[in-house]
Chains A and B, each alone.
Chain A
């Protein structure tokens, strides 16, 4: 089991009902982690609509997660 820190923003924050959490997971990639979280929270955005950041850098969905990583799922952005 790895310990992963997840932060939620915008629509995902509201749907998760929290800004962040630390969780123990068997998920090896952010894609697997999102699938796991999707069963727990009523997320309406699909993985195809999101990007993912690990330790505050954009990463591929198949990147290998390491113990202690910080993950953020990024909904479609709307600055400006």
Chain B
């Protein structure tokens, strides 16, 4: 059960091997990739930054919760930090379990909670030359808006 950061390409084959368990008939993974667009902007690359000391603790808590909640056998998550190009894998989640249903559900739970709770930030660089921290810049503009129309996270 691990949560870790890396500044290198995520090695899925090695990670998948670590989750192998003879009692498990189900394995499910999620790969989050860098997209070339976000909310109408053409994106050229992303930069990820994390408060690693707290993020690793919170990431482990998410995985422990998934194990307790869904009764899965093993789970792991790896997140990139640093500068990423379009198509690069930014995050990977893997889950092994006895059967497929809890594997799918636990995998979804882990990626959703990681996106929502773990202190990781991404800065988008746009074709226009402009850049912005996702969930921060427009939130700041609307800081005094009593009825914000968008979620801050997720």
Contacts and interface: CB of A to CB of B under 8 A. Distances in A.
Interface stretch (B20-28, B101-109, B137-145): B137-145
Question: Looking at chain B's contact residues, is the secondary structure mostly helix, strand, loop, or mixed?
Answer: mixed
Given A7-B51, A77-B116, A77-B118, A56 B57 contact: yes
A31 interface: no
B120 interface: yes
B123 A10 contact: yes
A79 B143 contact: no
Contact of A74 (B51, B116, B122): B51
Contacts of B122: 78-79
Nearest to A13: B49
Contacts of A13: 49
Nearest to A49: B139
Interface residues of A, number: 22
Interface in A31-80: 44-46, 48-49, 53, 56-58, 72, 74-80
A63 B126 CA distance: 39
A74 B117 CA distance: 11
Contact of A11 (B79, B111, B116, B133): B133
A45 B153 CA distance: 14
A42 to B, nearest CB: 11
Interface of B: 32, 48-51, 53-54, 57-58, 79, 90-91, 111, 114-123, 133-137, 139-141, 143, 152-153
